[in-house]
Chains A and B, each alone.
Chain A
């Protein structure tokens, strides 16, 4: 199985503060990879380093075989990212945000965007400032999926989504992964990892521990938060 994500000895610090230390991680094509860990453990730092938002101190990151620093823009053409907060330009209408994301990519995503909006029940005529947190999340899902990327990166995607939308979201992931995509799912929800992920890892205080199996029980899981 070809690796879509290959991180080797990634270290990122914020001045004197810890970010992540010596993180190595591989995610194979077609995987749904669960990324667990307490707040401040370094999950978002790892993701943001992968996307080029942060300048890493040492190590290397390869996404889809490309270097995350040199081929930054090329990588983002093939990545669909959903940030945890899902903020957009508040005065814009939903349909304009979705079209803007597609236009910057230089591709026509009308068909896929319509399909996604229908399944996620997104009201495209509302302005972003009129949306609840959950509805902003749905817009973010559409923006991350409409161009059918080869790699999805979701940072706490289900917060604010109702149970039906959570189910639809994971159905969509399964469908895209069955078509050859790969997914990295950062979450606090163990049941999501148990149910949908094929591999997983837990971050704690900037260090990564690979899980032998995603089918871990609550006690084992919570031990990572307590220790």
Chain B
């Protein structure tokens, strides 16, 4: 299993580096832009905080973008949420199905290793790469705060990055489950899932009737503006995340074990 895990990490490493550096650099660029915009931020902050539902959706009614912390939560929070979720989806949606899609399955499955061990190796690969992705992005963001000589709110920042990792794992688990039933690349579907949940969360924060159902989506407990405002996510969101992840991963193991593999 170790050999397959190492191979899988190597196969995905280039993709991982591109995404982690790209998302990290985008976040860092946003942070560095703050310095040049700082003077105008006061007026913008007042305007953005009084835009009703729009301000609520992007968290600008609770946080001021005139402060680096508020700016980070609203701007970098969005960049990281979307970037990391897309990476999680891309990484996991094809990780099992690519063996059949690219016709490498016959080689892999003729080696003396059970299907469940192959699924386990690929699942562990996703987890390792998502943890490393989060760490690399975190380093970029910390570098931005250090460069601007601003104090990093360490507790909120750690909580934000941890919740983002959890959100990434949840999206990855859903895509992993889909990958187990598919013999073809489903990249579009993976990206669609990541974006659909983001839009669901956004709409849920604007439409009052949907607020009670926000916990269904993985973005609900990873919202940067809530975390940096000290608003606690409801326990139902975490229970939902745990249930979704367990079911998706167990489904991947069970289904992959039983299905016919295409040549």
Report which A residues bind B (CB closer than 8 A).
Answer: 14, 44, 48, 51-55, 72-77, 79, 81, 83, 85-91, 100-101, 103-105, 140, 143
Contact = CB atoms under 8 A, between A and B. Distances in A.
B107 A143 contact: yes
Given A85-B263, A104-B3, A53 B106 contact: yes
B141 to A, nearest CB: 31
B6 to A, nearest CB: 9
Contacts, number: 67
Contact of A76 (B11, B112, B260): B112
A53 B11 contact: no
B109 A51 contact: yes
A76 B111 contact: yes
Contacts of B136: none
B112 A87 contact: no
A54 B263 CA distance: 10
Nearest to A87: B103
Contact of A55 (B11, B109, B258): B258
Contacts of A103: 3
Nearest to A88: B107
Counting chain B CB atoms within 10 Å of each CB, which of A53, A90, A101, A105 scores highest? A53
Given A91-B11, A100-B3, A103-B3, A44 B263 contact: yes
Nearest to A90: B102
B236 interface: no
A83 B261 CA distance: 13
Interface in B79-130: 102-107, 109-114
A154 B115 CA distance: 22
Contacts of A77: 112
Interface in B4-36: 4, 7, 11
A53 B258 CA distance: 10
Interface string B240-262: 00000000000000000011110
Given A53-B109, A87-B104, A104-B113, 10 more contacts: A51-B109, A53-B106, A53-B260, A77-B112, A81-B106, A86-B107, A88-B107, A90-B102, A101-B107, A104-B112
Nearest to A144: B110
Nearest to A49: B260
11 contacts: A51-B109, A53-B105, A53-B106, A53-B260, A76-B110, A83-B110, A87-B102, A88-B104, A91-B11, A100-B3, A104-B113
Nearest to A101: B111
A89 B104 contact: yes
Given A73-B112, A73-B114, A83 B263 contact: yes
A51 B110 contact: yes
Nearest to B107: A88
A74 B112 contact: yes
A87 B107 contact: yes
Contacts of A51: 109-110
Contacts of B110: 51, 76, 79, 81, 83
Nearest to A83: B106
B11 A104 contact: no
Contacts of A101: 107, 111
A92 to B, nearest CB: 8
Contacts of B104: 87-89
B7 A54 contact: no
Given A44-B263, A103-B3, A85 B106 contact: yes
Interface in B174-233: none
A82 B261 CA distance: 16
The 3 closest A-B pairs by CB, nearest first: A87-B103, A76-B112, A83-B106
A117 to B, nearest CB: 17
A187 B247 CA distance: 44
Given A53-B261, A79-B110, A100 B103 contact: no
A104 B111 contact: yes
A100 B3 CA distance: 7
Contacts of A90: 102
A73 B260 CA distance: 16
Nearest to B117: A73
A22 B100 CA distance: 27
